[in-house]
Amino acid sequence: MKIQGLIAATFSTFHADGSLDLSLVQAIVDKLVSQGVKGVFICGTNGEGPNLTSEERMATVEAYIKAVNKRCLVLVHVGHSSIAEARRLAAHAQQAGADAISAVSAFYFKPASAHTMVDCMAEIAAAAPALPFYYYHIPAITGVAVNPLEFLQLGEERIPNLAGIKYTASTLHEYQACLNYGNGKFDILFGYDELLLPALSVGAKGAIGSTYTFAAPLYLKVMQLFNDGQLEAAREMQYQAVKMIQCLGWYSPIPAQKAIMKLLGTDLGPCRLPLKALTDDQQAKIAAYLEQIGFAALLGSVTHTAV
């Protein structure tokens, strides 16, 4: 399986008391499908997967698969500090009808080498042998920076359903090496929204990102302009995305993005500790900044053009 286009890494949906609110999933999916995303990536970093119980993660998977109804791909993050729990989540994703699974490294007791990482991922992938498996490389969060190219070299011998890597790192030279390994046999999905255009320039065809959940048309326009050879226009459109992303670093990025979604009309509820929702003053600061850079107006103009 080679994915081309955008996969939206969706956010958690909670009631005010912190319990899951899966009633929001249908509307989220309908909007993303109408905007042209190729799939959803659920229970990952942005979906606060590590903050959910395994039962909550499985309920979320079932809600998304039902809402999608085969209109786009459903990629399920099953990573867990317990390999046994990750295997249980993987088996459930296969049984529920997911299209692929992905897993981060264990992030408490950490694999010390690419060999050990392959051992871990082989265990997880084997629990859902019918599904393509993507290793989720996100060293800034897990603290595990094994060489992803070495992982592919070792993993292709040990993981029969290895499809590729969800590559969430800024090391574009390593990303390009993974793209080209084995004459491009693996699907290497890029995971840094702010570097989408540079990734396209070294060969990216598919990407998974959080801001695609609320700004997919902007990035689809970047891809269209790049593919049409309109590089200056693509650079300008990418810079508009970068300007929006700059405000995410003012606070914790996930609560900040949920605040932006609320400003755009979709209230996903709070986050779970140790993440905390933005204060009213913090939300107001982001709202003023987005107004200053004309983000909503730009997004509206792009949404209403063919992309």
What's the pLDDT tens digit per position in 173-214?
999 999 999 999 999 999 999 999 999 999 999 999 999 999
Q: What is the pLDDT of residues 209-246, one digit of tens each?
A: 999 999 999 999 999 999 999 999 999 999 999 999 99
Q: Which of 64, 134, 135, 136 is catalytic?
A: 136
Low-confidence ranges of the chain (pLDDT < 70): 304-307
| Domains of the chain, CATH where assigned | 5-234 (3.20.20.70)
**What pLDDT, on the 0 to 100 scale, is given for residue 306?**
43
Q: Of the listed 64, 134, 135, 166, which one is catalytic?
A: 166
Residue 307 has what pLDDT? 44
Please confirm, yes or no, whether 136 is among the known catalytic residues.
Answer: yes
Q: Is 293 annotated as a binding residue?
A: no
Of 300, 118, 140, the closest CA to residue 215 belongs to 300
Helical H runs in 15-159?
25-35, 54-68, 83-96, 114-126, 139-142, 148-158
CA distance 5 to 222: 11
Residue 166 falls in the annotated catalytic set: yes
pLDDT at 302: 87
SS3 34: helix
pLDDT at residue 305 in the model? 55
